Amino acid sequence: MTIRFHKGDISEADAERYTGDIAIDTETLGLKPHRDRLCVVQLSPGDGTADVIQIAKDQKKAPNLTRLLKDRKRTKIFHFGRFDIAVLFHNFGITCEPVFCTKIASRLTRTYTDRHGLKDNLRELLDIDISKQQQSSDWAAEDLSQAQLEYAATDVLYLHALREKLQERLVRDGREKHAEACFRFLPTRAKLDLIGWDDTDIFAHS
């Protein structure tokens, strides 16, 4: 596993590895973007390597990262993008578009299960077993442990391959159009979370 570690931003040289779609995930101190700070952003170009960027407290900018994510020619691949999109917008003002969310694609195709976590998807569709042990660790630690770095990396390393598998299913089941519409709405869903509709289904009757 090749992990490139960065403080504050991805280096320009490493940013140049990203010529296509970008797998991305974030680690925070918790699930509330207004309370829990962003600690790590991890990216993968889909070649089996990952860039893990440690974000400082009160850091407001990351120009290389921002440039990559704002590029509308690259799809940003998330697992449960709703959360990460909100975090990236809240911290850096970045609106990620277009996006693909493997959790939504899983919901739309793996109708035989209610387990749409990343771990379950990777095990079933790619026969890869990842550990979720570091998920609830202290991501604001100044020195991230090797285990944390590896955890952060594994969360993005397989997203391209997973997207591929799920996209095949979406096509097979005639649900690509529905998925695309969900992905187009996702950045708005994330912004509504930030401004206070995080616990309402905006489309519900009551």
Ligand X SMILES: Nc1ncnc2c1ncn2[C@@H]1O[C@H](COP(=O)(O)O)[C@@H](OP(=O)(O)O)[C@H]1O
Give the range of 69-77, 115-123, 158-166, 186-194 binding ligand X by CB under 6 A. 115-123
Contact 50, 4 (CB under 8 A): yes
Is residue 162 near ligand X by the rule CB under 6 A? no
Give the range of 56-64, 75-83, 92-100, 175-183 binding ligand X by CB under 6 A. 75-83
Residue for token pair 């700070």: 37
**Can you give the binding site for its own copies, defined by CB under 8 A?**
80, 82-83, 103-104, 107-108, 111, 114, 116-117, 177-178, 181-182, 184-189, 191-192, 196-197, 200-206
Is residue 96 near ligand X by the rule CB under 6 A? no
CA 40 vs CA 49, 144, 149, 198: distances in Å = 16, 10, 10, 22
Q: Which of 57, 52, 43 is nearest to 140 (CA)?
A: 57
**Binding residue (CB under 6 A) for ligand X from 155, 179, 182, 186:** 155
Token pair recorded at residue 32: 């509330």
Give the list of residues 6+ apart from residue 14 with CB closer than 8 angstroms, or none: 4, 6, 51
Q: Which of its own copies, ligand X, none does residue 189 bind (CB under 5 to 8 Å by kind)? A: its own copies
CB of 13 to ligand X, least distance (A): 26
Is residue 73 near ligand X by the rule CB under 6 A? no
CA 46 vs CA 43, 89, 92, 109, 138: distances in Å = 9, 23, 24, 22, 27
Q: Of 147 and 181, which CB lies nearer to its own copies in the complex structure?
A: 181
